[in-house]
Chain A
Amino acid sequence: MTLLHTTTSNTTAQVAASVRDAVKHYGHDDTQVTALDHVDIDFEAGAFTAIMGPSGSGKSTLMHAMAGLDRLTSGSIVVGDVDVTSASEHELTRLRRDHLGFVFQAFNLVPTLTAIENITLPMDLAGRSPDRSWIDHVVATVGLSHRLRHRPSELSGGQQQRVAVARALAGRPSVIFADEPTGNLDSTTGSEILDFMRHAVRELGQTIVMVTHDPLAASYTNRVVFLADGRITGQLDQPTPDTVLDQMRRLGN
């Protein structure tokens, strides 16, 4: 555990999310499965972090628990200044709306809303007026300015994911959670999205936590955290596809 703390690339960086002794069991007795087994980890602000691991390693559970979509069996998670583990349903809704961003693998957008309406949806739900210049900036960066009035069904898969990323960025959240955001895209479109996410972290100062099983995708990040059987098994700073593959092989995946 101490290893993780001492080896972070910037020890003075602020922590965007911290997970302490997180345990998650599914089912009961004989059929009980341990998805998270005493996990401790911090995600620093302003960084692009990947969580990697084979199916069933607990990577999605960890992300869902941080996002307040799933409850831990024990342990605590603090995102920004909100204790996710003790928050009420109402507080979690507000946390997601005001402090978190989401990018899912597919079907990220509400089909009845236009691209721009999807982007401003969280703010509209909160009843806040969006920061126009920031939105314009995000939209311009994503390269969607001319498609804003289109419905999702009129956009390509890559464009849809870009809208999803723009929505995640629009509210300047404390953390953006991305769940296999390029899993449904061809490699060229996928790298566009990853480029853009890296850009959002470097130039716009955002924090992104991404779950993936693709070493190439992981190589776009600042740091890779490896999970297996609900435990953190290693981490890698400034990863490249080769070092990620290397580490995965070493961890016996």
Chain B
Amino acid sequence: MFRLTWKNLMASKIRFALTTFGVVLAVSFVVSAFVLGDGLRRSFTDVSKDITAGIDFEVRNTADFVKPPPLPPDVVDIVAGVPAVRHAVASIEAADNAVRPITATGDEIPTSGPPQLAFNWIDDPALSAFTIVDGAPPQAGEFTIDLDSAEKYDFVIGHTYDVMVPSGRVQLTLSGTSSFGPQNATLGAVLMQMNTAQASELFGVDGIDSVAVALHDGSDPAEAQAAIAAAVTASVPTAEVVDRETVAADFASQFTTQIDLVGAILLAFGVVALVVSVFLIHNTFAIVVGQRSRELALLRTVGADPRQIRRSVLGEALAVGIIASATGIVGGIGVAKGIDALFGVMGFDLVDWPLILAPRTIVAAVVLGIGVTLTAAIGPARRAATVSPMVLLSGTTSSSGRHVSRRRALTGAAFIATGAALAAGGAAVNGAFPVGVGAILLFAGVTMLSPMAVGPVTRVLGWPLGRVATVTGRMAQRNAARNPRRSASTSAALMIGLAVVAIAMIAAESVKASIGSTLADSAKAEYYLSDELDEVAFPAEVVGETLGLAGVDAATGFTPLEVRIDDTVTEVIGFDFDQIDALLDVDVRAGAFDSDVSSPVVVSAGEAARRGLVVGDTVTITSPAGITMATTVAGTFGDQSVLTEDYLVDTRVLQALGAPVAPEWLAISVADDARPVDVQHLLDTLESRFPYAALETAAQFEERVAGEIDDALTMVNMMVALAVAIALIGIANTLALSVFERTHELGLVRAVGMSRRQVRRMVRYEAGLLGSFGATVGVGLGIGIGIAAVHTFPSDVATQVAVPWDRLGLLIVIATTAAVVSAWFAARRAGRLDVLDAIAH
């Protein structure tokens, strides 16, 4: 039987290649995720070990805030005073992109790529992650930059450059180039160093980030750690002392989270390819078994038992799976290398990584490739085994797959009903979980029932076709509806792909529309100043200066701060209460932004309801600086779409909590009677002071956010493109096999007068109908699920549902057209059939 299996495979190499294509892609993505992840993780672990080699301990602030607050600078002296300590140095690191060098040509290095980071220079080579390659360490008025960035952006030692820092622009001279670890493993980031005094002055860090500690040789590490901890916590109770391994692990984890993200995306691609491939493989095997029913019947009459037949089909699937797995492993290494190259193109130069083909990777590839193929072939194999020897005598080919069993219909209907109820119910109560479960049930139910829908739906979709091309259109529609299960599973892959993209499009459109209407409702200020680089704050004085300009009616900065309220860490936002009414309408429900109340806080209506807070109640806030104060509820507000935080505090409260006023963005309102020249002066002033910040009107802001949302959609679109490509291969495959199956019939219609062109058209129309069936059902399903999903979005993300009908319609048209194109080969083959041979078939 094995020889027969193999011969069957080799007899149809193209079909075989098409069938395996999806599985090969799926396995490749999974393998690449593992290979890239394993290799990079090994590299980064090595890098982390290198750069932490000389450190014995690190002292840092542990407060349970996401961004630990800085330590006071005198901690260095406290640590240095511990007898076992040979050397203790402060390390200070600027926020990502807070310090950015300007090239000699006056250009800023693009911030869309890897981050630009600045560190204080540590003179002790044992404690520093950096070494000088050329030139000298930075003195006052100087800086150093990593050698790869120096080369890439043409920074020359001895030359003076502008450097953007949080407080503005300074001029510094490049004293040398440095290397981060032996390999300068920057991943494309720009790494700058300045001496410690200058770093404290320019980085905008209020204190120091940590203290690196080296012990005297021969001192007992455990004792030393205890001694340092005792000395430091006496001054800063929240500080902790961690060993080298922890530092290295924490350092490596900064990178591994990024690697894991890339790996997760690759795995997602793999899963998408896999799901779609199951349909493709199942379909191919089902059709092939149907075509071979006479041959199988012959085998049965000459003595093959059903089990042998089943094994023969499964053997064929096994061979497909083995070859697909093997090809996928090789392909996966290729994909990993390709992604490495792609990162390089985007500016993220990855470190050299070893090619690690872990046993886990091989097992995953083999289990996926073979498992999926075998699973998909079980149904067809079982059907093949039940082919009666009578088929040979009666000449009737198996008619299985024509009807949906009652049980399947009922299960499908139950799935759809439950799924729809869950999705609708979930949407009503903002429950993401029921909507998710409902969506999966809907997908399953629709997939089960779609064979019943193929006939009616293609009749409707084919109606215009029947107007234009009466016979060929009608015959194409009948052909599409001829074997509903085959048609349904052929278009199922397309259906799932397009449903996903429809959901993503509706979500994105709704978010955009919500932002638009929110800004229209609540944005009263004319201008908004924000730095494109999120983590960079503006200096506190800028608000006062802006208010001092002619024509400015109101202005305030918005400063976020992480605090603890009743044992919960949350973010509050601080701004000037006396300015806000002219700038933003956040739908005040009770009280007011009353700056006369002592330590006023305004609470969101939702939070107030949850905690039973009313105007006049007291809320206790603890800041990272360790200050605890009682604030008074001055009011409640309802619209959280612009200010998403639950607690809004006055700038003075922020200051009382010991937090620096460092606004992330500003809102500026211009007086109604302001002279155009004053407005122009205002804009010019802000622009020249912050050349890299964005000064936008509400409409421009909305446009920019919309653009960012569209960028985020790119990944989803790529994933869908992959699914659709595999789905189209499925359509091409099904039609090629259908054309083969209908050879006699095609000969007949040619004999009675169908032209070659009409034959080609008929096949293409059928492909178009299959494509539009999958696309229409998919988009329809996507619209339903998408609307339910948007209802579960938090109110600061989306407050309304928007369905981009025009683009969804276009999506159906594109999918249909692509399906027609995919049938090109099948149509050509059908058109070229020799009439006599075909009739004799």
Q: Give A residues with C-beta under 8 Å from B.
A: 64, 67, 69-70, 89-90, 93-94, 96-98, 102, 104, 107-113, 117, 121-122, 124-127, 167
Most A-side CB within 10 Å, residue of B475, B751, B752, B756: B752
Contact of A167 among B482, B752, B754, B835 (CB under 8 A): B752
Q: For the complex, what is the distance from the CA of A104 to the CA of B751, rounded to whole Å?
A: 10
Shortest B487–chain A CB gap in Å is: 13
Interface size on B, residues (CB 8 A): 22
**In the complex, are the beta carbons of A107 and B748 less than 8 A apart?**
yes
Apart from A97-B755, A107-B748, A126-B753: 20 A-B pairs, beta carbons within 8 A = A69-B839, A93-B755, A96-B751, A96-B753, A97-B752, A97-B753, A98-B753, A102-B751, A104-B748, A109-B748, A110-B745, A110-B748, A112-B478, A112-B482, A113-B475, A124-B471, A125-B752, A125-B754, A127-B470, A167-B752
Closest to B471 in A: A124
- What per-residue 1/0 map shows which CB atoms of B731-771 lie under 8 Å from chain A? 00000000000001100111111111010000000000000
Shortest A174–chain B CB gap in Å is: 13
**In the complex, are the beta carbons of A110 and B749 less than 8 A apart?**
yes
Contact of A121 among B744, B749, B755, B836 (CB under 8 A): B749
Taking CB atoms, residues of chain A closer than 8 Å to B758 are 125
Given A112-B478, A121-B471, A102-B752 contact (CB < 8 Å): yes
Q: List 7 A-B contacts (CB under 8 A).
A: A69-B751, A70-B836, A110-B748, A113-B474, A113-B475, A125-B471, A126-B753
**In the complex, are the beta carbons of A69 and B836 less than 8 A apart?**
yes
Shortest A33–chain B CB gap in Å is: 16
Taking CB atoms, residues of chain A closer than 8 Å to B479 are 112
Given A93-B755, A126-B753, A112-B836 contact (CB < 8 Å): no
Closest to A167 in B: B752
Shortest A67–chain B CB gap in Å is: 8
**In the complex, are the beta carbons of B471 and A93 less than 8 A apart?**
no
Given A112-B475, A112-B482, A93-B754 contact (CB < 8 Å): yes
Q: For the complex, what is the distance from the CA of A111 to the CA of B753, rounded to whole Å?
A: 17
- What per-residue 1/0 map shows which CB atoms of B552-582 lie under 8 Å from chain A? 0000000000000000000000000000000
**In the complex, are the beta carbons of B753 and A122 less than 8 A apart?**
yes
Taking CB atoms, residues of chain B closer than 8 Å to A93 are 750, 753-756
Closest to B481 in A: A112
Taking CB atoms, residues of chain A closer than 8 Å to B482 are 111-112
Taking CB atoms, residues of chain B closer than 8 Å to A112 are 475, 478-479, 482
Given A69-B835, A108-B748, A113-B754 contact (CB < 8 Å): no
Closest to A104 in B: B839
**In the complex, are the beta carbons of B475 and A110 less than 8 A apart?**
yes
Shortest B122–chain A CB gap in Å is: 81
Report, nearest first, the 3 A-B pairs whose CB atoms are least far apart.
A97-B753, A112-B478, A124-B471
Q: For the complex, what is the distance from the CA of A90 to the CA of B756, rounded to whole Å?
A: 8
**In the complex, are the beta carbons of B755 and A90 less than 8 A apart?**
yes
Q: For the complex, what is the distance from the CA of A127 to the CA of B761, rounded to whole Å?
A: 15
Shortest B459–chain A CB gap in Å is: 13
Closest to A122 in B: B753
Closest to B745 in A: A110
Q: For the complex, what is the distance from the CA of A102 to the CA of B752, rounded to whole Å?
A: 7
Most A-side CB within 10 Å, residue of B471, B744, B836: B471
Shortest B447–chain A CB gap in Å is: 25
Q: For the complex, what is the distance from the CA of A111 to the CA of B744, rounded to whole Å?
A: 11
Closest to A151 in B: B478
Taking CB atoms, residues of chain A closer than 8 Å to B836 are 64, 69-70
Shortest A79–chain B CB gap in Å is: 14
Taking CB atoms, residues of chain B closer than 8 Å to A111 are 482, 745
- What per-residue 1/0 map shows which CB atoms of B435-460 lie under 8 Å from chain A? 00000000000000000000000000
Q: For the complex, what is the distance from the CA of A232 to the CA of B756, rounded to whole Å?
A: 34
Taking CB atoms, residues of chain B closer than 8 Å to A110 are 475, 745, 748-749
Q: For the complex, what is the distance from the CA of A191 to the CA of B475, rounded to whole Å?
A: 33
Q: For the complex, what is the distance from the CA of A179 to the CA of B587, rounded to whole Å?
A: 87
Closest to A93 in B: B755
Closest to B753 in A: A97
Taking CB atoms, residues of chain A closer than 8 Å to B751 are 67, 69, 96, 102, 104
Q: For the complex, what is the distance from the CA of A127 to the CA of B755, rounded to whole Å?
A: 12
**In the complex, are the beta carbons of A96 and B752 less than 8 A apart?**
yes
Shortest B741–chain A CB gap in Å is: 11
Given A69-B836, A112-B478, A112-B482, A89-B744 contact (CB < 8 Å): no
Q: For the complex, what is the distance from the CA of A121 to the CA of B752, rounded to whole Å?
A: 8
Taking CB atoms, residues of chain B closer than 8 Å to A70 are 836
Closest to A121 in B: B752
- What per-residue 1/0 map shows which CB atoms of B804-841 lie under 8 Å from chain A? 00000000000000000000000000000001100100
Taking CB atoms, residues of chain A closer than 8 Å to B753 are 93-94, 96-98, 121-122, 125-126
Taking CB atoms, residues of chain B closer than 8 Å to A108 are 748
Shortest A127–chain B CB gap in Å is: 8
Closest to B396 in A: A153
Q: For the complex, what is the distance from the CA of A127 to the CA of B753, rounded to whole Å?
A: 11
Taking CB atoms, residues of chain A closer than 8 Å to B839 are 69, 104
Most B-side CB within 10 Å, residue of A64, A69, A108: A69
Q: For the complex, what is the distance from the CA of A204 to the CA of B825, rounded to whole Å?
A: 44
Q: For the complex, what is the distance from the CA of A93 to the CA of B758, rounded to whole Å?
A: 11
Closest to B749 in A: A110
Q: For the complex, what is the distance from the CA of A232 to the CA of B38, rounded to whole Å?
A: 82
**Beta-carbon contacts under 8 Å, B745-802 to A:** 745, 748-756, 758
**In the complex, are the beta carbons of A122 and B755 less than 8 A apart?**
no
Q: For the complex, what is the distance from the CA of A90 to the CA of B759, rounded to whole Å?
A: 13
Most B-side CB within 10 Å, residue of A89, A97, A112: A112
**In the complex, are the beta carbons of A124 and B470 less than 8 A apart?**
yes
Shortest A140–chain B CB gap in Å is: 22
Shortest B396–chain A CB gap in Å is: 10
Q: For the complex, what is the distance from the CA of A93 to the CA of B475, rounded to whole Å?
A: 18
Taking CB atoms, residues of chain B closer than 8 Å to A64 are 836
Q: For the complex, what is the distance from the CA of A102 to the CA of B749, rounded to whole Å?
A: 10
Shortest B638–chain A CB gap in Å is: 61
Closest to B841 in A: A107
Taking CB atoms, residues of chain A closer than 8 Å to B835 are 69
Q: For the complex, what is the distance from the CA of A108 to the CA of B749, rounded to whole Å?
A: 9
Shortest A89–chain B CB gap in Å is: 7
Taking CB atoms, residues of chain B closer than 8 Å to A97 are 752-755
Shortest B82–chain A CB gap in Å is: 90
Taking CB atoms, residues of chain B closer than 8 Å to A113 are 474-475, 478
Shortest B837–chain A CB gap in Å is: 10
Taking CB atoms, residues of chain B closer than 8 Å to A126 are 753
Q: For the complex, what is the distance from the CA of A7 to the CA of B229, rounded to whole Å?
A: 127
Closest to B751 in A: A102
Closest to B839 in A: A104
Q: For the complex, what is the distance from the CA of A147 to the CA of B90, rounded to whole Å?
A: 97
**Beta-carbon contacts under 8 Å, B477-505 to A:** 478-479, 482
Q: For the complex, what is the distance from the CA of A70 to the CA of B754, rounded to whole Å?
A: 16
**In the complex, are the beta carbons of A89 and B756 less than 8 A apart?**
yes
Q: For the complex, what is the distance from the CA of A94 to the CA of B758, rounded to whole Å?
A: 12
Q: For the complex, what is the distance from the CA of A94 to the CA of B756, rounded to whole Å?
A: 11
Q: For the complex, what is the distance from the CA of A110 to the CA of B742, rounded to whole Å?
A: 10
**Beta-carbon contacts under 8 Å, B5-29 to A:** none
Shortest B787–chain A CB gap in Å is: 38
Q: For the complex, what is the distance from the CA of A89 to the CA of B757, rounded to whole Å?
A: 11
Taking CB atoms, residues of chain A closer than 8 Å to B755 are 90, 93-94, 97, 125
Closest to A98 in B: B753
Q: For the complex, what is the distance from the CA of A93 to the CA of B478, rounded to whole Å?
A: 23
**In the complex, are the beta carbons of B478 and A122 less than 8 A apart?**
no
Q: For the complex, what is the distance from the CA of A121 to the CA of B474, rounded to whole Å?
A: 11
- What per-residue 1/0 map shows which CB atoms of B466-477 lie under 8 Å from chain A? 000011001100
Q: For the complex, what is the distance from the CA of A121 to the CA of B472, rounded to whole Å?
A: 10
Shortest B831–chain A CB gap in Å is: 10
Q: For the complex, what is the distance from the CA of A247 to the CA of B755, rounded to whole Å?
A: 41
- What per-residue 1/0 map shows which CB atoms of B296-311 lie under 8 Å from chain A? 0000000000000000
Shortest A36–chain B CB gap in Å is: 15
